[in-house]
Amino acid sequence: MDKITYYDTMQSPIGELMLVSDGKALTGLYMANQKHAARRAKAIRNEEMLKHPRTQLQAYFAAELREFELPLAAEGTPFQQRVWRALCDIPYGETISYGELARRIGQPKASRAVGLANGQNPISIVVPCHRVIGANGSLTGYGGGLARKRWLLAHESKGSLI
């Protein structure tokens, strides 16, 4: 028997977002035209199920929230899970390099693998893969596009909460 998946969409300053849940936790947050995006084929639209994540995202975009408090359940390999957990430890408004992220998970020579895992993060924004940049400070690849990454980093660098 297939698992039931729920979804809803919302508008944001960076375009439409699709939120996905297994009924207990957020399992995906995708931007329009994002690489590795989920499909809606077997998902049921349910606004109520995704009300809490939507409310927190609205507060984030309004500069009223810096840390999300949501149950998360991203599916991935054990290595990807380690990378995604480490992403959640990068403070709001700060950036680190792929090499630093690799060091933080105890695999300093795995910056390329960390980059791949980062790029396959299914819960963008909440699991802040946009906070990882190139060693030289450049904005390297981002599944949602570099313009969105630039916007998210600029949004967080403003730093003031209302």
DSSP state of 47: T
CA atoms within 13 A on the CB side of 53: 32
Q: How far apart are CA 40 and CA 92, in angstroms?
A: 30
Q: Which residues are catalytic?
A: 129
Q: β-strands 132-133, 96-97: how paired?
A: parallel
Beta bridge partners of 44: 6
